[in-house]
Structure 1
Amino acid sequence: MSNHTLRPLVTTLRILYPVWAVVGMFSLIYVPSRIFLKDDLGTTGNNIQNLSGLFHLGILGSLTTQLIFIVTAWYLFRLFRETNLPAAQLMLMLALVSVPMAMLNELFTLTMPLYTDQPDQLRLLVNLHKYGLQIVMLFWGLWLFPLGYLISHSGYFPRAVGWLAILGGAGYTLGFLLKLLAPEASAVLQVCEYLTMGEVLWLLWLIVAGARLPEQSVSG
């Protein structure tokens, strides 16, 4: 694939990725930190009512994040399909599987305002959303394994960057398994959270450094 063909793909990804990251952090980190208080459903219910605008912006942000992720995964597939088509197809499949799961999981959040005065029902919805998100995170980890392989073997990026993505995938995947099988292993779970930073480092490399594109056409 020629430089002329690859450059627009990389440029688009360097725009999509930071937008995806900012919207994702807003909806997954900032909004929950303002709305949900652990073991205090009374305050959580009040926050859902009193900060209704922020609450619904968080839902919109979560859905928007998934839509951006679809486009991002497609552009990554186009970038890497000549590196290894089966690996690129696997990456795309694992990425796309997570999207409807994540969007359907927001149904629990959308329903929460109906039960702000019913602690038991609200607790159930909060827990269902939390556990649903954990299942989605499994696929957020799995898709990084073929992505890391493609990064390492494409020649567009340093091989170490690909291994960082693979470490990120290991962090998400092992974190899911530990929360399911050994939730009391808090120290190991913390290590898994650190490993997920590998995905962030890959993202930063792409945004800041871009890709080393070939000057002439290359075969996959």
Structure 2
Amino acid sequence: MHPLIRTARMTGLLYLGLAVTGALGFLLIRPRLFAAGDPGTTLANLVEHASLARAGVAFELLVVVTQTLTAAWFYRLFRTADPLNAGGIATFGLVNAIAILISAATLATAAQLALDPVGDAAATVQLLYLVSGNLWGVGALFFGLWLIPMGSCVLRSGWMPRPLGWILVAGGVGYLLSAFVRYLAPDAQVVADALVLPATVGEFWMIGYLLIHGVRHHALDQAPSDTRLPAPAAA
């Protein structure tokens, strides 16, 4: 197998891992524990489902790991075709991973406080979950920002279908706008959700293309045979 195809498929596998861990942690586990506007219920859920709360922390840590590795592998994939945008994918992906890392720390603190309460544990736990949710909310800026250079890499390299590149760019812009809509117009949740739909389409198309095709065949003639990350310069 050509190294570029191998790199592309590993990138797709890591990206799929990011999607799965994010969905399980934020969309599945979090709603079962956090009760908006009801600190007492949130605290009771954390006490009653302590193992689930720990699993929620673990999934957020897995999001950090998969986000970081996916960012690194996207850089590895596109660095010869478009170094600037490849670096943008890596940089914005890492910043988003840091935001989720802080979110994981707040959830871990909430889980610990629920079992070993100090002061008004219900109010504090609720606050920690709100901070976690808002870290995901503001982190959408960087998740949107990493899709824009990703789409640009697709367009500049020609290694994947051009419509995929445009959808990724549009999805990134939509993610950026949705982050502002959520805070400036909180009653317009439907609009915010609609703005991220192109990103969802683009991401799953990208994952599928990487896993199934890797890159277009003509890319194998253009790319160097060695796609490893460059070694650090000697001192």
Per the TM superposition, whether the score is higher than 0.5 is yes
Equivalenced residue count is 217
Residue among 7, 11, 21 paired with 1:13: 11
Aligned-pair CA distance for 1:58: 1.3
1:161 is the counterpart of 2:161: no
Task: List aligned pairs for 1:96-111, cutoff 5 A.
Answer: 96-111=94-109
1:123 is the counterpart of 2:126: yes
Counterpart Cα distance in 1 of 2:177 and 2:23: 22
Counterpart Cα distance in 1 of 2:57 and 2:87: 29
1:201 corresponds to: 205
1:172 corresponds to: 175
1:49 corresponds to: 47
Aligned-pair CA distance for 1:82: 1.7
Aligned-pair CA distance for 1:186: 3.0
Deviates further, 61-70 or 38-47: 38-47
Gapped runs of 5+ residues in structure 1?
A: none
Distance 1:218 1:205, change over 3 A: closer
Task: List aligned pairs for 1:132-171, cutoff 5 A.
Answer: 132-171=135-174
Distance 1:200 1:14, change over 3 A: closer
Does the Cα contact within 8 Å between 1:101 and 1:136 map onto a contact in 2? Answer: yes
Does the Cα contact within 8 Å between 2:63 and 2:100 map onto a contact in 1? Answer: no
Residue among 21, 45, 49 paired with 1:23: 21
The aligned amino acid for 2:189 is S
Counterpart Cα distance in 2 of 1:5 and 1:128: 42
2:59 corresponds to: 61
Counterpart Cα distance in 1 of 2:89 and 2:220: 26
Distance 1:186 1:22, change over 3 A: closer
2:231 corresponds to: none
The aligned amino acid for 1:92 is A
Aligned-pair CA distance for 1:76: 0.9
1:192 is the counterpart of 2:190: no
Counterpart Cα distance in 2 of 1:177 and 1:145: 17
Aligned-pair CA distance for 1:215: 4.2
TM-score by length of 1: 0.88
Q: SS state of the match for residue 94, structure 1?
A: helix
CA deviation map 1:90-138 (0-9, x unaligned): 2211111122221022222112131576332222212211112212111
Gapped runs of 5+ residues in structure 2?
A: 225-235
Residue among 184, 193, 214 paired with 1:210: 214
Counterpart Cα distance in 2 of 1:71 and 1:34: 28
CA deviation map 1:36-65 (0-9, x unaligned): 222232222111111111111111111112
The aligned amino acid for 2:206 is W
Counterpart Cα distance in 2 of 1:186 and 1:31: 21
Percent of aligned pairs with the same amino acid: 28
Q: SS state of the match for residue 29, structure 1?
A: helix
Does the Cα contact within 8 Å between 2:63 and 2:97 map onto a contact in 1? Answer: no
Distance 1:187 1:65, change over 3 A: closer
TM-score by length of 2: 0.83
